[in-house]
């Protein structure tokens, strides 16, 4: 079950940057594949590598997709106020670290709750663009069926699938009123290009 996000103290402010691009999406929507392609397309984005206590999945690299750390190390980082936002999910912990000074354009992958916290605590001079990935399908039922198939294909434990689909339904329902842009991930390369176009358009504004 999802637990409440903890809001970090703001003793050091949020971040020293002007452009934050947040990409969200339900579990199994294909975020990592799309973002991997996006980062190959552009050299002007700094990828925020989240910390997590969960075990790496097949193909995930430490320091590339996540920093995989122990529970006690995660707790130490929370106490040290080293996260922009953090949460517990499915008995594991996830946190978005504060970036290094001098970062101009930061790409963050987080869920809608994390995105809300980052927007809430941003500085006036920071500009945030929020993007959410949707599964293909012209009805909510088809979209959720797509996510269920992807969970089965990736080997998600059957007892966890229903909980994740229920969470996804809430996220999909809430997304249109919160996010600036919705991108349908019917093809990973096409979705990455659409996100890149959104980033370029935001820069020109």
Tell me the pLDDT tens digit for each residue of 11-51. Answer: 344 444 468 899 999 999 999 999 999 999 999 999 999 99
Q: Looking at residue 108, what is its pLDDT?
A: 94
pLDDT at 128 over 80: yes
SS3 45: coil
pLDDT (tens digit per residue) in 83-95: 888 888 878 999 9
pLDDT at 70 over 90: yes
Strand partners, 115: none
Q: Looking at residue 177, what is its pLDDT?
A: 92
62 in Cβ contact with 68 (< 8 Å): yes
62: in domain: yes
Residues 158 and 63 in one domain: no
Which residue has better confidence, 20 or 135? 135
Residues 89 and 112 in one domain: no
Is residue 204 very low, low, confident or very high in pLDDT (cuts 50, 70, 90)?
low
pTM above 0.85, yes or no: no
Parent domain of 148? 19-48+103-204
79 Cβ contact partners less than 8 Å away, ≥ 6 residues apart: none
Residues 42 and 64 in one domain: no
Residue 114 burial by Cβ neighbours in a 10 Å radius (0-12, 13-18, 19+)? buried
Residues 121 and 87 in one domain: no
pLDDT at 5 over 60: no
Measured CA to CA, the distance from residue 96 to residue 156 in angstroms comes to: 24
Residues 30 and 76 in one domain: no
Residues 142 and 194 in one domain: yes
Mean pLDDT of 183-198: 98
175: in domain: yes
């Amino acid at each position: 079950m999802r637990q409440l996000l903890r809001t970090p103290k703001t003793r050091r402010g949020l971040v020293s940057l002007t452009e934050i691009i947040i990409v969200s999406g339900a579990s199994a929507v294909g975020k990592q594949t799309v973002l991997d392609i996006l980062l190959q397309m552009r050299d002007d984005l700094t990828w925020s590598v989240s910390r997590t206590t969960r075990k790496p999945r097949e193909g995930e690299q430490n320091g590339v997709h996540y920093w995989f750390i122990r529970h006690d190390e995660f707790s130490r980082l929370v106490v040290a106020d080293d996260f922009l936002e953090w949460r517990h999910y499915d008995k594991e912990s996830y946190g978005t670290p504060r970036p290094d000074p001098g970062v101009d354009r930061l790409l963050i992958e987080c869920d809608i709750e994390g995105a809300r916290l980052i927007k809430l605590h941003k500085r006036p001079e920071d500009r945030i663009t929020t993007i959410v990935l949707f599964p293909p399908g012209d009805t909510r039922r088809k979209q959720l069926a797509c996510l269920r198939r992807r969970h089965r294909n990736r080997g998600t434990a059957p007892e966890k699938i229903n909980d994740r689909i229920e969470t996804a339904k809430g996220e999909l329902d809430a997304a249109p009123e919160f996010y600036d842009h919705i991108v349908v991930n019917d093809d990973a390369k096409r979705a990455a290009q659409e996100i890149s176009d959104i980033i370029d358009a935001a820069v020109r504004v």
